[in-house]
Amino acid sequence: MKRRTVLGLLVTSASLTCGVAAQNTPKVARIGWLTAQPASSLAPFVDAFRDALATLGYVEGRNLLIAFRYGDGAIERVPSLAAELAGIPVDLIVAQGDAAFEIHKLALPLPIVYAISADPISGGLADSLSRPRDNMTGITLMAVELNGKRLELLRDIVPEIRRVAIVGNPEHPGAHLERTFSEQTARRLGLQITYFPTATRDELDRALTKIAANPPQAISLLADGFAIEHRARIIDFAMRSRVPVVSGWPIFARRAAGPIRARCQLEKRAGAGPRRAFITSRARGRGHRMIALVGRLHVP
């Protein structure tokens, strides 16, 4: 089952539990969408969310109202935005990303459905994956063991790789688990790992400066909301530096697809020598999609 359908089912279930009318009644279901991120960084996810609800019979303008609130990168705005949604009032709130952890502190008298890439247990949202806390439930896209698998995939694609930079947000709940799995796999594969914490834009700037000064042979990008928001900066940097990147979500691969196609066409017309092109590789593991981005490298 696709993630968009799972989230749609969760939202629908929570709505019905709270007395929101089912699709065969005229009452309009009112859902609040709350995130600390800017709208532009989440457009594909919002489209998927709408599509999933429409599949379940909930259509805006007919029996559904979605009130969107974006923090535009300011997590401190979440409490006031949540208060706006509660004042409408909405029947439930869908909290995306880090906003879920902020809204949990507010103890709102509303059901909350979250969609996060973090570990809900480390973040205090659940006692276990089968026991969510308080009035919150949702899904997590985190599969920490796949971080090691992605390094194995990268090594299979580019066997000569020995030095890998891990770029990740240490404030992302569960990031320590992702780093641990990556380092364990790296030791087994004989890879040298350098970790670059990137919780802020300034830290990201400093990390990319250090990477540029001593380029690794590959980058493992730990996926979270911060990485999505700054994906253009990270992926474009890797493309210019001709450093392979591996990460967990299709959105990073899509960022590279257009520029790479254009560059391949230009080099083909110019009669450039053989190079290893970007590769998008998909594999299945425990129901999650694994995406590998491999940058353009000179083939010896």
pLDDT at 294 over 70: no
Report whether pLDDT(285) > 60: no
E strands of the chain, at which residues? 29-35, 64-70, 92-96, 112-116, 126-128, 131-132, 136-140, 163-168, 192-197, 218-221, 245-247, 275-276, 279-285, 288-294, 297-298
- Name the residue with higher pLDDT: 158 or 83: 83
* Band of residue 272 on the pLDDT scale cut at 50, 70, 90: low
**Sign of the dihedral defined by the CA atoms of residues 155, 157, 160, 162, in that order:** negative
What is residue 256's predicted lDDT score, i.e. its pLDDT?
Answer: 63
Pick from 47-61, 139-153, 198-212, 279-293: least confident: 279-293
- 113 bridge partner residues: 94, 137
What average pLDDT does the segment 107-124 reach?
89
User: What pLDDT does residue 21 have?
Assistant: 42
Residue 233 clears pLDDT 80, i.e. is over it = yes
User: Model pTM greater than 0.75?
Assistant: no
At residue 110, the pLDDT reads: 92
**Segment 97-110 mean pLDDT:** 90
Which of 4-8, 217-221, 245-249 is predicted least confidently?
Answer: 4-8
Give the percent of the chain with pLDDT over 70: 76
pLDDT in tens, 3-57: 444 455 455 545 544 444 444 556 899 999 999 988 887 888 899 999 999 999 9
Choice among 23-32, 188-197, 230-239 with the minimum mean pLDDT: 23-32
Q: Bridge-partner residues for 150, per DSSP? A: none
Neighbours of 232 (CB within 10 A): 11
| DSSP state for residue 124 in the 8-state scheme | T
Nearest of 197, 186, 196 to residue 162 by alpha carbon: 186
Give the N- to C-terminal CA distance of the chain in Å, as an integer. 43
Which residue segments constitute the domains of the chain, with CATH numbers given?
A: 3-140 (3.40.50.2300), 145-298 (3.40.50.2300)
Q: 88 pLDDT exceeds 90?
A: yes
Q: Which residues are CB-contacts of 80 (< 8 A; sequence separation ≥ 6)?
A: none
Mean pLDDT of the chain: 80
Q: Could you tell me which residues come within 8 angstroms of residue 262 by beta carbon, excluding any fewer than 6 positions away?
A: none
The percentage of residues in the chain with a pLDDT greater than 90, rounded to a whole number, is 43
Q: What is the pLDDT of residues 130-171, one digit of tens each?
A: 888 889 999 888 888 888 889 998 888 888 899 999 999 998
